[in-house]
Amino acid sequence: MAVSSIPARSEDPTTGPTRAPRRPRGEGQWALGHREPLNPNERIKKDDDPLNVRARIENIYAHRGFASIDPQDLRGRFRWWGLYTQRKAGIDGGRTAVLEPHELEDEFFMLRVRIDGGQLSLAQLRVIADISREFARDTADITDRQNIQYHWIRVEDMPEIWRRLESVGLQTTEACGDCPRIVLGSPVAGVARDEVLDPTPAIDEIVARYVGDKQYSNLPRKFKTSISWLVDTPYQSNDISFLGVDHPEHGPGFDVWVGGGLSTNPMLAQRLGVWVPMAEVPDVWAGVVGIFRDYGYRRLRNRARLKFLVADWGVERFREVLEKDYLGRTLLDGPAPDLPAKPVDHVGVHEQADGRHYVGAAPVVGRVSGGQLAQLADVVEAHGSDRVRLTPYQKLLVLDVPSERTESLVDALRGIGLEARPSAWRRGTMACTGIEYCKLAIVETKARGEELVARLEQRLRDFDADISIHINGCPNACARTQVADIGLKGQLVVGPDGRQVEGFQVHLGGGLGMAQGQTAGFGRKLRGLKTTAEELPEYVERLARRYLAGRSKGETFANWVIRVDEEELR
């Protein structure tokens, strides 16, 4: 007689038969024995470590061309070397979600150059400019991750591009992919008057030890880092952030935050409650990445970020696992960092700790060109500097300028389209790549941002408040939509004639805890508050004028948004 494989049923005298409880479904956590790939992305990584694809690019694809590229390499492993196929021209936003990848993509690539800490030498800047002009049709956007982003890159040119970048100490290794992305850092690290401890050695050690290390090249999804003494990076939106703090007994070190991330399910990072000396930052960083690798959720891509694990575990358990299983020691409790009296802004002319000056300048929504960067290199050299920095807000800085040369530099920067004394609108507006090149985008962003800034400068040139405007082409929040004063999430909306047109859902009053009195939170979403792209400048102007007319003394835009009736915001 055959033995049944049906689970046994128990009898409850009051309710009747019950089935044995079902085991909870695994989340794909390696540490719990769930090693089998659970989605196509995980299978691609298991079949071959993505770092290995560089050899195929150099030895096969660069010689045989785009058509020879294996689809798993093309749409998967190429990302570990900073390469994404770019959007084919002429495909409107309404078809973004319905076309297959091969129908959306062009035979050209977007390429990200990782610039950890945003630090560039003059020689590196010139190489970036030359690559842009020779291989990227003069494109070279500054991103809000301190990257340089090219477009129109051909696979045939990648060996030469890598040779040139690496000859000056730059790389594209793990600029994208399910791995440790660029490490954000203060653009004034090592020169700021208010900086007690320069974390650049910790950033350099992390990059040298772990970027390109196959122990950390297969994470559940991307992993974003920020390390800064100053409160001048968006530390609450990263997977891990180290923020400078003085311990009353042990002196300067870093406060640790974990579990931040935006996209379609935004969460703010939480304090781990520990104090870490700079020498231990790389080990603590590696421990947190190790937890993510081993315990991160790999079954569903939309739950594969560290923020979901931190939310489920809580910071107390997360700290316990980090200390016991990954560091083998207890971390010291630490105080919360002191926030500055007002948000740190590096645009303009500022004195360095050594008496020289740095000058921060704003392109429009991060859009620059290779020709412009080549001109910048000439201007920088002519003013006695050898160092440029990129910021997490799509701006750039020139360091080490003698005090008597600052005004000349301001004028020279203006002459090449970089403004060191910008309007509030140019200073405060960022935009992601958008539909021009991105396969995920639904609407245009860069051109819309440029148009918006120009309109507001014309109509509200003397606007005297700081308002951040972040424009995103889709829900993925690459431009940090939810933590802007005015966050604009691209989508199709119904226009005046009843047809679908490009537009934005509006988020109002979001922000991070960047200064005393600021409460971090996500922008207010009002029911039905949307604008077409054509009506966007008019809407923002109307909103700004209402704020100017109705604010109380010293009231920020975010606080005004919370206080006023909804009708004022429409």
Q: Residue 381: phi, psi to the nearest 5?
A: -65, -40
Alpha-carbon distance 88 to 485, whole Å? 32
Looking at residue 340, its pLDDT comes to 97
Looking at residue 19, its pLDDT comes to 60
Looking at residue 3, its pLDDT comes to 33
Structure tokens at 470: 């972040």
Alpha-carbon distance 53 to 81, whole Å? 8
Alpha-carbon distance 228 to 231, whole Å? 7
Looking at residue 5, its pLDDT comes to 33
Looking at residue 10, its pLDDT comes to 41
Looking at residue 26, its pLDDT comes to 83
Count of positions (residues) in the chain: 570
Sheet holding 486-494, edge to edge: 429-431, 469-472, 486-494, 500-508, 530-532
Distance of CA 24 to the CA centre of its chain: 34
Structure tokens at 424: 């509030």
Looking at residue 37, its pLDDT comes to 84
CB 406 within 8 A of CB 358: no
Closest CA to 260 of 280, 233, 230: 233
User: Phi-psi region for residue 562, left (φ > 0), alpha (ψ -120 to 50) or beta?
Assistant: alpha
pLDDT in tens, the chain (570 residues): 333 333 333 444 444 555 655 556 789 999 999 988 889 999 999 999 999 999 999 999 999 999 999 999 999 999 999 999 999 999 999 999 999 999 999 999 999 999 999 999 999 999 999 999 999 999 999 999 999 999 999 999 999 999 999 999 999 999 999 999 999 999 999 999 999 999 999 999 999 999 999 999 999 999 999 999 999 999 999 999 999 999 999 999 999 999 999 999 999 999 999 999 999 999 999 999 999 999 999 999 999 999 999 999 999 999 999 999 999 999 999 999 999 999 999 999 999 999 999 999 999 999 999 999 999 999 999 999 999 999 999 999 999 999 999 999 999 999 999 999 999 999 999 999 999 999 999 999 999 999 999 999 999 999 999 999 999 999 999 999 999 999 999 999 999 999 999 999 999 999 999 999 999 999 999 989 999 999 999 999 999 999 999 999 999 999 999 999 999 999
Q: How do 240-247 and 148-153 pair as beta strands?
A: unpaired
Closest CA to 167 of 130, 135, 202, 216: 130
Q: Which residues contact 189 (CB under 8 A, 6 or more apart)?
A: 117, 119, 195, 198, 199, 200, 228, 229
Whose tokens are 């800085």? That residue is 397
Q: Which amino acid is at 166?
A: E
Residue 59 CB: number of other CB atoms within 10 A?
11
Looking at residue 24, its pLDDT comes to 61
